[in-house]
Structure 1
Amino acid sequence: MCENSSTPEITEPGAQRELHLPPEILGHIFERVRAECERTSKPLHWMAVSHVSGYWRAIALGWPALWTSLTPTVAKKGLLGVFLERSGSMPLSIDIGNISPWVYETTLATQNHRIQTLTCNVRSQVVTLLDRPAPCLLNLQLRGQDDMFSVSETRILYSLLSSAPSMQNLELYCFSPKSFPWTIPFNSMRKLTLEGVGSAPPSSYTFSDVIEALSEMEALEYLCLEIDLPLHDRDVSYEVVRSPRLQVVRLTGRGDQFIVLWSLLEHHPICAIKLNITCSTFDIDNFRVAWTRYIALSDLESLVLISIDMSFRGEIRFTLISDDERFDMDTAFYMRIEWDSEVVNDAPLTALFTSMVPIENVEIISLSSRNDMDFPIEEFFAKLATRATNVKTLDLNDFNETLSALAFRILGGSNHDAPPMPRLERLELCSIVVDRNLLCETLYRRREAGMTLEEIRIHHCRMLDDDSDGAWEEFRKELMWSDCVGTIYL
């Protein structure tokens, strides 16, 4: 099909005039076909499509942009030399996968000057082959296969990145964070992913270097850091990182400095946040600043679901999901913060979060907890229920006898106050202890206040005193006859 690397002359098509299109149009059509073939894991199928006639074949062979994508399939078929020749001086997109280092060294090492995209699963010895300038490099994805890289290899990668100031998309996995040249401005960076190795904080750069580097990336859209960040200086007032296009933030690591970094990010109103942070202790004021900025910047008018997991002391998880068509699960807000419960009280963080979220717009609330939290859970739940005026679905998970009784009492209101959550339609109970009499009393009170539930779903729950199948069935019939609920699912 392409054994001969010479380009035939383009001749006019004969009888099949419908196949005759200008070379510029056919060339772009073939590029689209190639992109679709690569997307569907048929990387070379486009060659058969473009060779259906001598005219098409001649255009395909003489269209350099078609031959710029070098993949493992191309290498395995021995076509790297052919592709390099036919691509002329066009920028190259190279995915060498797990090709042996000698293939890259003998065939591609001389092409660093025109590599635009490079994807590689590397062993440490491959890094030494990158010790050449790559001024056209825009997209780089390297996934290390060794636990650690030597000082010389880190220097080589640092040098490569330093020679590519126009970098737009960078993904480094299993590399030392010292491989990234924080002091070099990457003004064109759109996507930055750094997932490092090692547990010791790096000493070759500072927290200020990170903030200053991110401040230079005004076009940044995606930020993922799973590295050891240097400690921040509590006496320094850092500048806000203004990234108006930033729509995805992923921060994972140990230390209060991750919360400080989050507090300094000024992002797009539609921004997915995922935080997974472990701290021995942290400053609640830093969290307050971060959370205040997020609420102020974010478009939360269409917020529909809040999930709060307080199942363990020293750990809390929040999830916010919007029903807006611009959002999906990947653009939700998710935060898991873990701390030393002997040092940090659980109460302030939870109270601060729930007091600032616009719960009034939420339609679904999911709560998971146990009674070993070291803060006034009754006050927390009461305030949450009072503010949740538009909630239609309440999901309670892993509540023990004490917490479930507390929740039922609050949902039933009191002799002086009407029950909260006036629009509540569905109650879902999962893995909780149910006090039958108390739950019935709660539902009676809501019925008398004109707040009859449409349905209750009960899964894997245990009934207090009598947990037999007969007791559950009797309970179901009692509620159905009392018109306290439309449907019960056991």
Structure 2
Amino acid sequence: MDCPAAGCTRCALTNVLVEDSLDGVEKRIVELKELTRQMYTKRNALVSIGRLPPELLTTIFAFVVAGASHRVSLASTFNFTHVSCYWRQLAFASPELWSSLTSRSLPWCQVMLQRAKAANLSVDMADHGRDPEQMAFFRDVISKHISRIETMSLALHLPCRYTSRFLKTFPTSSPGKLRFLKITMSPGGSQRPRLRDQCLMGTSVLLTLELHNCDFDWNLPELKNLSTLKVLNGRALSPMDQIIRSLVNTPALEVLELTLSLLDANLDNSKLLESTALRNLRELALTCDIDQTIILRHLVVPATARVNIDCSSGASSDTASNTLSLSLNVFTSSLIIDNSNSKALFAHLDIRSRGLTSIVLKFDAVDTWPRPGFLLFPHLTLIIPKTIPKLSHILSGLPLHLLNSLSIDTHFTSIDFLQSFGPLNNLKHVCLTRECLSEALRGPLAPLSISSATPPPLPNLESLLLERLDDFGEWEIQLQQVRDYLKKRSEGGWPIQTLYLGISCSLRAEEIASLEEEVKVKSRQ
């Protein structure tokens, strides 16, 4: 039954099937070869990118993620490869990208310095400096490029001999580009390294210098371009007046912050800041461990300067339009502020004291000030401990009749010092707090009682703030005492328009509202 024609047909059909299968296999092989070629292309590109520093790879990833967030389909390996290649070319063509040295880049810092070429360097070794061998390696590498360093932050945690050896790396004569230097020292043992001025006298640009835990024994005649100096937790090896006077020779100084402890307790600090002119200063912060009488006399600073002096006393000056806000945070036993020859106009005076036993404030008479009629002290805040017997003696000589706002937070047993102020014609706001408030509410109110024959000394009072009543629960302030107090104030010519009561443990919300309404009614009458 078999015939030659049938056999030929089967053979032809088999050949067709085999050819089709071979074609499919060949196409698959071609596709696999193409995929393999693409895979090797991407792999080779990624291998070269993997040699970049971690900081640059971080930038690349951030760029890709941010750029592809709205086009997820483009965030593929192929596109990442192209972006990486672009960044790689950009990195090699941009020396500035290699000019930032950190403690993490220490192993390849030589390569980075070579690729940075002549670009200014930024060195941040805040996490470095505990290994003498690593610091020696860093010193040897950096010393060849020291004139290119623009900013440097160092943390030196080694004994004094290693630290001093490292600091000798700085040039002593050739001008450099250094404009910011921060050194934090935590040396081992009792010795502390000294950083002297000759290591920085070559700087030719405005310099910001920060020193932490460093001895301060400087005479700064050569640092003409020093703009910012901060010495924190240091130890002064020279009298403070000598150190401050040496800073007058730095005409570009704008920010000065010193936190020093004196090595010699017998140093002459009684004339600290006397006749010192820091004419370009924008900010001054001075803190010293001095247990002596501090005299701030003839301190000349610009009207726009911000001054914070704490020689375990402190003063902060916040100025605007030729006016000063003086805030004293006093820790010494005696403080003398002599502003007799100054023409600064004070808009705010805030005295806060701890352990103060005597204070003398000297100011010019009101008619000698350049702006007649100006409210010399629109606002006065007093926070004085009970170690001072009479506040009126402290504030003698001040033109307090120009007060606009008065805040009293004291430990006095009586507030009769208000009578010594005389008529406070411009007073509009009063804030009584702490024990002063307690005495005002529970004690005899005769010192504040005004007879009908006497002109009311507080005619313009608009608000009375009774603050922090929750602090005086032990005084058992009763509602009736508050009513009696307000009644006497209104009858005595004290027309309070607004009453502010702080959070009280003795008065309920509805009682406070009732008091406020009662005061408003009396004010309208």
TM-score by length of 2: 0.61
Aligned mate of 2:463, from 425, 444, 449 = 425
- Distance in 1 (CA, whole Å) between partners of 2:289 and 2:214 is 17
- Distance in 2 (CA, whole Å) between partners of 1:149 and 1:368 is 43
Q: Is the 8 A contact 1:223 1:248 kept in 2?
A: yes
Report whether the alignment pairs 1:150 with 2:198.
Answer: no
After superposition, what is the alpha-carbon deviation per residue over 1:418-441, rounded to whole angstroms, capped at 9, x for unaligned? 252623324133234447555434
Q: RMSD value over aligned CA atoms?
A: 4.7
Name the counterpart of 1:190: 227
Look up the SS of the partner of 1:266 in the other structure.
Answer: coil
Aligned mate of 1:160, from 199, 207, 210 = 199
- Distance in 1 (CA, whole Å) between partners of 2:381 and 2:124 is 33
**Change over 3 Å in CA distance of 1:398–1:195 after alignment to 2:** same
Report whether the alignment pairs 1:212 with 2:214.
Answer: no
- Distance in 1 (CA, whole Å) between partners of 2:382 and 2:350 is 10
Can you give the 5+ residue segments of structure 1 that lack an aligned partner in the other structure?
6-37, 319-331, 462-466
Name the counterpart of 2:124: 95
After superposition, what is the alpha-carbon deviation per residue over 1:422-465, rounded to whole angstroms, capped at 9, x for unaligned? 2332413323444755543442355454723323213356xxxx
Report whether the alignment pairs 1:114 with 2:148.
Answer: yes
Can you give the 5+ residue segments of structure 2 that lack an aligned partner in the other structure?
1-48, 65-81, 313-330, 362-378
- Distance in 1 (CA, whole Å) between partners of 2:488 and 2:430 is 18
Report whether the alignment pairs 1:297 with 2:350.
Answer: no
Report whether the alignment pairs 1:81 with 2:110.
Answer: yes
The alpha carbon displacement at 1:112 in A equals: 2.5
Look up the SS of the partner of 1:187 in the other structure.
Answer: coil
Report whether the alignment pairs 1:397 with 2:434.
Answer: yes
The alpha carbon displacement at 1:385 in A equals: 8.4
The alpha carbon displacement at 1:123 in A equals: 0.7
Q: Is the 8 A contact 1:219 1:243 kept in 2?
A: no
> Equivalent pairs: percent with the same residue?
17
The alpha carbon displacement at 1:227 in A equals: 0.9
The alpha carbon displacement at 1:309 in A equals: 4.2
Q: Is the 8 A contact 1:97 1:119 kept in 2?
A: yes
The alpha carbon displacement at 1:149 in A equals: 6.0
Q: Is the 8 A contact 1:455 1:485 kept in 2?
A: no
**Change over 3 Å in CA distance of 1:43–1:349 after alignment to 2:** farther
Q: Is the 8 A contact 1:428 1:458 kept in 2?
A: yes
After superposition, what is the alpha-carbon deviation per residue over 1:202-254, rounded to whole angstroms, capped at 9, x for unaligned? 2xx334531331111222222212113573376x8987332233222222223
After superposition, what is the alpha-carbon deviation per residue over 1:382-420, rounded to whole angstroms, capped at 9, x for unaligned? 455844725435242233744555796666644323252
Q: Is the 8 A contact 2:279 2:302 kept in 1?
A: yes
Which one-letter code corresponds to 2:344 in the other structure?
L
Q: Is the 8 A contact 1:275 1:337 kept in 2?
A: no
- Distance in 2 (CA, whole Å) between partners of 1:143 and 1:406 is 55
The alpha carbon displacement at 1:311 in A equals: 7.5
Name the counterpart of 1:24: none
Report whether the alignment pairs 1:479 with 2:515.
Answer: yes
- Distance in 2 (CA, whole Å) between partners of 1:358 and 1:270 is 25
Alignment of 1:331-370 (within 5 A): 347=391, 350-351=394-395, 356=398, 360=402, 362-363=404-405, 365-370=406-411
**Change over 3 Å in CA distance of 1:105–1:3 after alignment to 2:** farther
Name the counterpart of 1:123: 157
Name the counterpart of 1:67: 98
TM-score by length of 1: 0.64
Report whether the alignment pairs 1:275 with 2:304.
Answer: no
Question: Which of 1 and 2 has greater Rg?
Answer: 2
The alpha carbon displacement at 1:186 in A equals: 2.0
Name the counterpart of 2:412: 371
**Change over 3 Å in CA distance of 1:366–1:401 after alignment to 2:** closer
- Distance in 1 (CA, whole Å) between partners of 2:446 and 2:203 is 63
Pick which of 242-251 and 52-61 moved more. 52-61
Name the counterpart of 2:278: 243
Look up the SS of the partner of 1:296 in the other structure.
Answer: coil
**Change over 3 Å in CA distance of 1:123–1:480 after alignment to 2:** closer
Look up the SS of the partner of 2:251 in the other structure.
Answer: coil
Report whether the alignment pairs 1:443 with 2:483.
Answer: no
Aligned residues: 399
- Distance in 2 (CA, whole Å) between partners of 1:219 and 1:357 is 37
The alpha carbon displacement at 1:84 in A equals: 1.2
